Structure 1
Amino acid sequence: MFRNLLRAAFAALASFACLVGAAKAADLPTIRIGVLQYGTVSWELEVMKRLGLAEREGVRFEVVPLALKDAANVALQGGAVDVIVNDWIWVARQRAEGRDFAFAPYSRAIGSVMVRPDSNIRTLADLRGQRMGVAGGALDKSWLLLRAYSRKTIGEDAAKLVKPDFGAPPLLNALMLKGELPAVLNFWHFSARLRAAGMRELLSLDQILQGLGVEGELPMVGWVFREDWATKNRPALEAFLRASAKAKQAMQESDTVWADIRSLTQAEDDATFTALKQGFRAGIPTADVARAERTARSVFRILADEGGTDLVGSATALPAGTFWRAGGR
């Protein structure tokens, strides 16, 4: 009888603790994160959620699923979400046009040039006259950087060197695996899948940047938000950014957290899962924001020369304030 009463008392205390914890969590400020469905950002957010990292830092986040990249931009501009993931080029263009968005680095993982192992392609020049799939369109940043790299290293624009086929990332991968494309410039996670399937990396973004004389790592994508919102909600935002950094640390150091989110990666086999895990880890930024911003300034000039106003709008240089600094500027 006494034992039963004791168990009931402990159960009641546990329930009360859960209710108190839930009440405390409900009192925390909430950040609405606009996330593309099935995007790799959801991997980190799931780790953050499973480990309770945001709540430990004193903030909650709510995921708002979005279908397309443009929908994320519209949702942020319209105030439907507080934060999205985008690149700093978009932020720079917005700031040049008077809109006060800011960027906090999230990942430096970006596309690479992959070739078939049976293609006998060993250098960029070997692609002359051949078809190459390109994801993201004619203004894709990786493609523009490749064009600049090609001109500098072999004296010929990649747009004239190869026959570019612009297309959706999954389609380009499928065509390459069927042998219809000898080379593909695709987003990082699609390149990782190609690597797992036996394709070979010809050029990485780091190699392209080094060939262009750019020093330092480049986090191309990051958390993007309005600066006025960030200023008003600075403690909540910086708590979220700390939680994001801790989630990345866990994903860098622990295979267990990856096992827990394996289903989200949609990896068909162990080789693909390993390639995706390695690709994500390789993309975790290690440089501080000031150094990343200096690298971005150098790359901005290259991209502006290649993409012109269609890419950067009226911006002539990386606008001040594009990169958010924790604790203020």
Structure 2
Amino acid sequence: MNFWKRLTVPAVLLLAVLASPAAAERPLLTIGVLKFGTATWELDTIRANRLDEEGGFALKLVELASNQATQVALQAKAVDMIVTDYLWVARQRAAGEALSFLPHSSAVGTLMVPASSPIKDVADLRGRRLGVAGTPLDKSWLLLKAYARERHGLDLEAESRPAFAAPPLLNQKVASGELDAVLNFWPYAARLEAQGMRAVIGVDELMRGLGAKVAVPAVGFTFREEWAKANPTLLAGFATASEKAKRILATSDAAWERLRPIMQAEDGATWTRLRDRYRAGIPAHWGDAERAEGAALYALLAKLGGRELVGDAPTLPEGTFWPSVRY
């Protein structure tokens, strides 16, 4: 409990529910988010278009400092939902904590190099200084290693020089020439594109190269199953609002102009790249094919990352994907 207090005071900011006479009459949905996280773009769109009112709920966002903090908040029942990847959801579910997931985004990372780099393909990473966002268990790194081995007979751990670091630092290092290439999360890759750097291969392409047939929304809105069963109408209203907001962001340039102040884009080129890469990750469908592909990707990652990545769940636990939402 003391750890939770440290996380929330004073770093956490409560964002007020949009003022409305009817707000007090609607059930409240509290979502824990990162202050500058890209998921807030969808949630802000829900509120700006009054999709929460239309869905019969009031939306409140709780800003937290890190992904770990959002996970702690959900586990402590301080929020109803957070945004995280379904690997964590599956691992928690396998450990006895019944969490479930609604899709948010299939946007993934990209392998980036300077425009003048001789690196044209994954095979060209042999002997190169390669920056990787996150840790050696990051799913993008696991997939890149598998792809390099299967397609090019290349052992990246042994035959390149990987270095693991935070995304902003990796962007600085590749810009200064201290790294030859970086495998970075999509918002940071978009910033490098805006600076004139070149994409070698996206993680979505790695997945297709390893057998994936449809895009998998790896990141989604996560909640406790007991909460969902106690609030089915609230959850259904949010799922509908979320889908409508996705469609707005996929088609409306005006919606993105309105979001410009909260996107933290350094310039117009960065804003455009962030918008376009976000749009590319909006799930067009969520049904049996996507669920099956998610289970197949999970099994592959479990094989690549082992127990350290997925715990005691080598296959996707039933209920990881909330069963009643499809579009």
Regarding TM over 0.5, the answer is yes
User: Aligned pair 1:186/2:184, yes or no?
Assistant: yes
SS at match of 1:120: coil
Q: Which amino acid aligns with 1:125?
A: A
Q: Which residue of 2 aligns with 1:266?
A: 264
Q: Tell me the distance in 1 between the aligned counterparts of 2:236 and 2:156.
A: 41
Q: Which residue of 1 aligns with 2:310?
A: 312
Q: Which amino acid aligns with 1:123?
A: D
SS at match of 1:288: coil
* Aligned residues of 1:135 and 1:186 also touching (Cα < 8 A): yes
* Aligned residues of 2:31 and 2:61 also touching (Cα < 8 A): yes
Alignment of 1:138-177 (within 5 A): 138-177=136-175
Cα deviation, 1:68-107, whole Å, max 9, x if unaligned, reads 1111111000100000001111111111111100011100
Q: Which amino acid aligns with 2:183?
A: L
SS at match of 2:271: helix
Specify which of 100, 116, 119 is matched with residue 117 of structure 2: 119
Cα deviation, 1:4-53, whole Å, max 9, x if unaligned, reads xxxxxxxxxxxxxxxxx933221101111000111111111111111111
Deviation at 1:161, TM superposition (A): 2.9
Whichever structure has more helix as a proportion of its residues is 1
Q: Tell me the distance in 2 between the aligned counterparts of 1:47 and 1:212.
A: 35
* Aligned residues of 2:87 and 2:310 also touching (Cα < 8 A): yes
The alignment's TM-score, normalised by the length of structure 1, stands at: 0.91
Q: Which residue of 2 aligns with 1:245?
A: 243
Cα deviation, 1:182-212, whole Å, max 9, x if unaligned, reads 2100010101111111111111122101111
Q: Tell me the distance in 2 between the aligned counterparts of 1:247 and 1:316.
A: 34
Q: Which amino acid aligns with 2:251?
A: E
Q: Tell me the distance in 2 between the aligned counterparts of 1:327 and 1:233.
A: 14
Q: Which residue of 2 aligns with 1:79?
A: 77
Deviation at 1:167, TM superposition (A): 0.6
SS at match of 1:321: coil
Q: Which amino acid aligns with 2:204?
A: D
* Aligned residues of 2:106 and 2:217 also touching (Cα < 8 A): yes
Q: Which residue of 2 aligns with 1:97?
A: 95
SS at match of 1:323: coil
Q: Tell me the distance in 1 between the aligned counterparts of 2:31 and 2:159.
A: 41
Q: What is the Cα-based RMSD across aligned positions, in Å?
A: 1.3
Q: Which amino acid aligns with 2:271?
A: F
User: Aligned pair 1:198/2:188, yes or no?
Assistant: no
SS at match of 2:270: helix
Q: Which residue of 2 aligns with 1:137?
A: 135
Runs of at least 5 residues in structure 2 that lack an aligned partner in the other structure: 1-18
The alignment's TM-score, normalised by the length of structure 2, stands at: 0.91
Distance change in 2, residues 1:231/1:327 (3 Å) = farther
User: Aligned pair 1:44/2:42, yes or no?
Assistant: yes
SS at match of 1:23: coil
User: Aligned pair 1:65/2:63, yes or no?
Assistant: yes
Aligned residue pairs: how many? 308
Specify which of 215, 222, 229 is matched with residue 213 of structure 2: 215
* Aligned residues of 1:148 and 1:302 also touching (Cα < 8 A): no
Deviation at 1:294, TM superposition (A): 0.5
Q: Tell me the distance in 1 between the aligned counterparts of 2:20 and 2:261.
A: 27
* Aligned residues of 1:116 and 1:199 also touching (Cα < 8 A): yes
Q: Tell me the distance in 1 between the aligned counterparts of 2:242 and 2:196.
A: 32
User: Aligned pair 1:285/2:292, yes or no?
Assistant: no
Q: Which residue of 2 aligns with 1:15?
A: none
Q: Tell me the distance in 1 between the aligned counterparts of 2:223 and 2:253.
A: 31
Q: Which residue of 1 aligns with 2:8?
A: none
Q: Tell me the distance in 2 between the aligned counterparts of 1:196 and 1:69.
A: 26
Cα deviation, 1:112-135, whole Å, max 9, x if unaligned, reads 111111111111111111111110
Q: Tell me the distance in 1 between the aligned counterparts of 2:52 and 2:208.
A: 36
Deviation at 1:290, TM superposition (A): 2.1
Q: Tell me the distance in 2 between the aligned counterparts of 1:207 and 1:158.
A: 18
Higher deviation after alignment, 208-217 or 81-90: 208-217
Cα deviation, 1:213-254, whole Å, max 9, x if unaligned, reads 121111110000011110111110111111111111111111
Q: Tell me the distance in 2 between the aligned counterparts of 1:273 and 1:22.
A: 31
Q: Which amino acid aligns with 2:193?
A: R
Q: Tell me the distance in 1 between the aligned counterparts of 2:303 and 2:324.
A: 31
Q: Which residue of 1 aligns with 2:225?
A: 227
SS at match of 1:22: coil
* Aligned residues of 1:33 and 1:84 also touching (Cα < 8 A): yes
Q: Hey, which bits of structure 1, 4+ residues long, moved more than 6 A?
A: none
Runs of at least 5 residues in structure 1 that lack an aligned partner in the other structure: 1-20
Q: Tell me the distance in 1 between the aligned counterparts of 2:182 and 2:72.
A: 30
Q: Tell me the distance in 2 between the aligned counterparts of 1:59 and 1:284.
A: 23
Deviation at 1:327, TM superposition (A): 6.1
